[in-house]
Structures are given as structure tokens and as C-alpha cells.
Chains A and B, each alone.
Chain A
């Protein structure tokens, strides 16, 4: 299995797309060496805007660039992109459906060392709550490339959530990537595990462990939390003994609530793996935090077993 980093794949893809499309412009709030927007800066300095540490202005300014027909990508950590500049996304960009791509880097607990102020447990909820936004939650480096390309094809505001740390490739290279369509990463017959973002990794591991115990697990990755094909979710859940919904974000306002809404009335048993309405903290690794907050493969396995007892 080869490993890739979502930030680096994003940076490379920006450059590739920038070569094809002269309207792509990139904005940064002094984190370019971390978000990897620096790769675009090196190649296209005239289309790169260093906005200083001023996320609110960066976000509305990107809206202005979109008014001029550009396709702006804003870059900073997810927690600042969606929190510090929330009102700018809502008011300057989303109400007018401006074609701005907001990239949230170091999302979830992936900035493990920096603690609660730098860990986004709420970005999925707040971005999903804004009308007109498309919310991308890629699971690995391969998918990031597809997601960024798809975001450019969307004529409207998008949020793309990226992980800080290296990830194994799991998204099938040849898989058709379609906004809003769940992707079955592994088929199974007993329990369906729904994930977004990096949680696919833990879910696949849990599925392997479950198999050893005689439980057949289907893993369904959600590439875009919004929009989401509700019928496809229902089809993936049909006939299962139960489902587990996993996300590296707050239980409130995330995929768990969305899927429980989609499956309302179906009476299918459901378990949740999510951040249970708490902030994160500093730790020595991302894996340590995933374990601490019950987001690791072992925690997913427990829920799977609970549903099959």
C-alpha cells in the first residue's frame, strides 16, 4: 500500500489545474508551507494572493475575485477557514452562490499537537448548515485529486476538508467519482459502516477484524457530506442487521444526524462513532487522539459487534 499526504496531493493538483485553467487563483493566510498552497505560489506567483493573517478579509476578497470570473481557492486550517470566516462564507459567498473553493487544512484532530484551538470538530456541521455549499470529505490522497477537480467543475461555493497527516491509499484509482454518490469501499452483508473523510481507514481495519469473527461488513464512504444521494444511502443500508456511522467530527450536525434522518422510519439499528460534543486536546499523535475519543478501528469494531449480538 502506498502512502500519500492529502495536503501535498492537493498542492500538486492545484498546480495541474492551474496549468489548465488560467482563471484559478489561490489565496493564503500565512500558512502556505503547511497547506501546501506554496506549490501554486512557486509556479504562478501572479495568481497567488498572500493575504496575511486575516482570514475574514481573505474569504470575502476571494468572493470579489469570483465576481471577476476567477475560481479562487482559499487556504488556511479548517478551524479558521470555517470558524473565523464563517460569516464571510455565509454572507459574502454563499448567499450569492459565488464560485469560491474554501479549503480547510489540518482538519478534525489531525493537528494533534496544537490542541483544541486548532482542531476542527465543528466544521462539518457549520459548513453543512450553509445553503448552496458543496462539502467534500475525501478519505485519502487519491480522492483529494478527484475532489479538487470536481470542485472546480461545480459552479458554486465548495468546502474541501483535508487531513494533515500521511494516509494509505484506499480510494480506488479507477472508481468513478461523482459528487453526492456514496462509494462502496468493501462489500459485506451483516453491517454497513458509513464514513466520511479519514474514518474510512479505521472502518476498513475494523471490517477486517470483524471478518475474523465471522461478521461481514460493508464499508461505504461518503465523498461529499453535502449533497448526498439519499436513495443510494438507503440502498446501502437495505437488508443489513444494522449500521455504524463514523466521523471525525461532532455528533451534532454531522453525518450521523444526516443518515439517521435519511433512514428515518426504517427501524434499522444504528450506532455512532463520532466526537461526542467535546473539544480535542494536544497529544503526541493523531492515532492517540482517535483512540482517546473513541474514533479508532477498535471502537468501530465494538459498535459492529454490538449490532450483531
Chain B
């Protein structure tokens, strides 16, 4: 459980991370604002509360790992890494997707410290995370592997292969976090491509399933703690979220999946986050 002070600190962190996201995207350039903001609170709790990691020792063998299967939300991870001090924020924050930058459009572990895998082609992150979890278990390293998946991404068949494998191998060091923001690039997931009852599906694939409000710090931290008690099977945390969360004009708007901010929207977003 979080005490009041911890909770307040995490909320402030999440606000900083959203500001970094907006700053990285900047004005007049496309950026994955919506799906980064929907994941911002979860990523904040992972990096600033839950995960065992050390920015000064990024290769620490028994660190917990976070992999973004929805690699297009890279900027939320970049923001968390720079806020943790993995790399210099001031030198990097205005270099997103620029030629030669280590802040690529999708996460690249060979270009940026703190990134655990290369993702971007949707549907592959859970397989990577499950293989990593299996490898850590072989070496009896007590690390957790967290992997974030988008709800639109669930149409990718490989994810379901990976879910079966995670269950088959009883990978209880693996946590699949589904960022259920209800929107994909072209509209509502419920309209564009129905996937049915997700909770039932994940249970039938052998997961312990927890459903939370993905913007409630207590619920996020609580679910991550509860996951540690599950033995013999993988855990799936279904987080109900709002795409574009924290930026009123972008909340629930599919166009901000990979939208462009005008000068006015950019200023407005930073102002709202400053006041939050």
C-alpha cells in the first residue's frame, strides 16, 4: 500500500513524465501522445515505486525488466528513464526522432541505455518478455519481467501464442499489463475489431487476472504487489485507462494516437500539466 506522501509524490512524477512526453513531441510533429499518456501512471509506479533497478548500474543482473510491447509508446519509457537519471534529460529531450538521436521512434536497446528489447512491430513483446522470464528463471535470478501491451495490439496472433507459452511454462515471474484505453489508430477498439471478453480470455489462457483503474496509483501499486503472491502461473493486469490521459483536449480522442500538436495545443497541454 502507498502512504499519502508516496502517492502524492508518484502523482507529481507522473505529471512530470506527461510534461516530458509533450515536450519531446513538440510542435508540428507527429508523436504517439495518446497511448503514452494512458500508460504514464503505470510506468511511473513501476519505475519510481515497484521495480528493482539502478540507473547507475543499468546492467545489474537481478534488475526487474520492463518491455513495451506497444513500442510506439516509447516516449513514456524515455520520459521515465530520463526522470530516473539513466541519461541526461536536458541534452536529450529535444532530440526525439532526429537523425542520430538515441531517442528513436521506437525503443532500441542498442541506442539507448535502459531499454531492454527492441519493439515496434506489434505483438512480439510478450514473447520476448516470456523468453527473458524463462531465461532468468533458469539462472535462478529472482527478477520480475513486466510487459505492456495495447488493447488494439491484442489482434496480433503472436500474443496469444505467447500467452499460451507463458502459461505452459508457468512463468510466475512474468506480468502482462494490458493498457485497455479502448482506442486504436482508427477509432474505438470496440467498433474497429471486437475481441470479446478479455478477462475471460486471459483466464482461459491460464493467467491470474487483475482488473484495475490504470490511473489510480493505489490500485496500480496494489495489483503489482498482489502479482508477487501468485505462484505457478503468469499474471495479467488489465488496466482500464484513458487515451491521452491528463491532457484534456486529447483525452479519448483517437486522432491523438499519433497526432500533431499545434503551438496553442502544446502550450495548453504544458499549462494544464503545470497546474495539475
A87 touches B131 (CB 8 A): no
A152 to B136 alpha-carbon distance, docked (Å): 20
B168 proximal to A (CB < 8 A): yes
Residues 36-80 of chain A, each 1 if its beta carbon lies under 8 Å from chain B, else 0: 000000000011010110101101111111111110100000000
A49–B134 CB distance below 8 A: yes
Q: How far is the CB of A15 from chain B (nearest CB, A)?
A: 18
Residues of A within 8 A of B109 (CB): 96
Q: Are B116 and A92 in contact (CB under 8 A)?
A: no
B138 contacts the other chain (CB 8 A):
yes
A117 within 8 A of B: no
**A110 → chain B closest CB, angstroms:** 27
Assess the B127–A65 pair: CB atoms within 8 A. Answer: no
Interface flag for B132 (CB, 8 Å): yes
CB distance B117 to A25 under 8 Å? no
What 1/0 mask marks residues of chain B from 88 to 126 whose CB sits below 8 Å from any chain A CB? 000000000000000000001110000011111100100
Q: Which residues of A contact B127 (CB under 8 A)?
A: 56-57, 59-61, 63-64, 88, 92
Contact of A67 among B110, B116, B138, B168 (CB under 8 A): B116
Residues of A contacting B133 in the complex (Cβ-Cβ under 8 angstroms): 64
Docked pose: A70 CA to B141 CA in angstroms:
13
CA distance A7 to B127 in the complex (A): 27
**Interchain CB contact under 8 A, B158 and A57:** yes
Quick one: which of A56, A64, A69, A72 has the most chain B CB within 10 A?
A64
The answer to whether A65 touches B164, judged by C-beta atoms less than 8 angstroms apart, is: no
Chain B residues positioned under 8 Å from A87 (CB to CB): 121, 124
A64 touches B134 (CB 8 A): yes
Inter-chain contacts of B141 with A (CB < 8 A): 68
| In the complex, residue of chain B having the shortest beta-carbon distance to the beta carbon of A61 | B131
For the complex, is A285 an interface residue (Cβ under 8 Å from B)? no
The secondary structure that dominates the B interface is helix
Interface residues of A in 122-165 (CB under 8 A from B): none
- B139 in contact with A96 (CB, 8 Å): no
CB distance from B68 to the nearest CB of A (A): 13
B130 within 8 A of A: yes
A47 to B134, CA, bound (A): 10
In angstroms, how far is the closest chain A Cβ from the Cβ of B88?
23
Which A9-41 residues sit within 8 Å CB-CB of chain B?
Answer: 25
Cα–Cα distance between A67 and B116 once the two chains are bound (Å): 8
- Secondary structure of the A side of the interface? helix
- Is B128 part of the binding interface, using a Cβ–Cβ cutoff of 8 Å? yes
Please state if B108 and A96 are interface contacts (CB–CB under 8 Å): yes
Q: Determine the distance from Cα of A143 to Cα of B139 in the docked complex, in whole angstroms.
A: 32
Those of B20-52 within 8 Å (CB) of chain A: none
CB 8 Å contact bits of A224-238 with B (1 = contact, 0 = none)? 000000000000000
Asked whether any CB of chain B lies closer than 8 Å to the CB of A291, the reply is no
Question: What interface size band does chain B fall in?
Answer: 20 to 34
Q: Is the CB of B124 within 8 A of A60?
A: yes
CB distance from B150 to the nearest CB of A (A): 16
Question: Do B158 and A67 have beta carbons less than 8 Å apart?
Answer: no
- Cα A96 to Cα B115 with chains together (Å): 11
Residue in chain A with minimal CB distance to B61: A69
B84 — which chain A residues lie within 8 A by C-beta? none
- Flag B137-167 by CB within 8 Å of A: 1 or 0 each: 0110100000000000000011001101100
Given A70-B138, A96-B118, CB of A52 within 8 Å of CB of B164? yes
Closest to B71 in A: A91
Report yes or no: B118 in contact with A91, Cβ–Cβ below 8 A.
yes
Q: Are B136 and A92 in contact (CB under 8 A)?
A: no
Residue of B109, B128, B157, B161 ringed by the most chain A CB atoms within 10 A: B128
Evaluate contact between A56 and B135: CB separation under 8 angstroms.
no
The reply to whether A67 and B161 contact each other, CB–CB distance below 8 Å, is no
**Cross-chain contact B158 with A56 (CB below 8 angstroms):** yes
- Residues of A within 8 Å of B165, CB to CB, are 51-52, 54, 57, 61
B61 to A: closest C-beta gap in Å:
8
A144 to B169 Cα, complex, angstroms: 31
CB <8 Å contact, B124 and A67: no
A196 beta carbon closer than 8 Å to chain B:
no
Tell yes or no: A97 within 8 A of B by CB: yes
In Å, the complex CA distance between A61 and B132 comes to 7
Q: How far is the CA of A52 from the CA of B141 in the complex (A)?
A: 26
Chain A: which residue is nearest B165 at the CB level? A57
Across the interface, do A54 and B124 meet the contact criterion of CB distance under 8 Å?
no
**With an 8 A cutoff between CB atoms, is B129 at the interface?**
yes
**Known contacts A61-B162, A64-B131, then 8 further A-B pairs from the complex at CB < 8 Å, ordered by chain A residue:** A54-B165, A56-B158, A57-B161, A57-B164, A60-B124, A65-B131, A70-B135, A92-B118
- Residues of chain A whose beta carbon lies under 8 Å from any beta carbon of chain B: 25, 46-47, 49, 51-52, 54, 56-57, 59-70, 72, 87-88, 90-92, 95-97
Closest 6 CB pairs of A and B: A64-B131, A68-B135, A60-B127, A57-B161, A61-B131, A64-B132
23 A-B residue pairs with Cβ-Cβ distance under 8 Å, sorted by A, are A25-B138, A52-B168, A56-B127, A56-B157, A57-B127, A57-B165, A60-B128, A61-B162, A61-B165, A63-B131, A64-B130, A64-B131, A64-B132, A65-B132, A66-B135, A67-B65, A69-B139, A72-B131, A88-B127, A91-B118, A92-B118, A96-B108, A96-B110
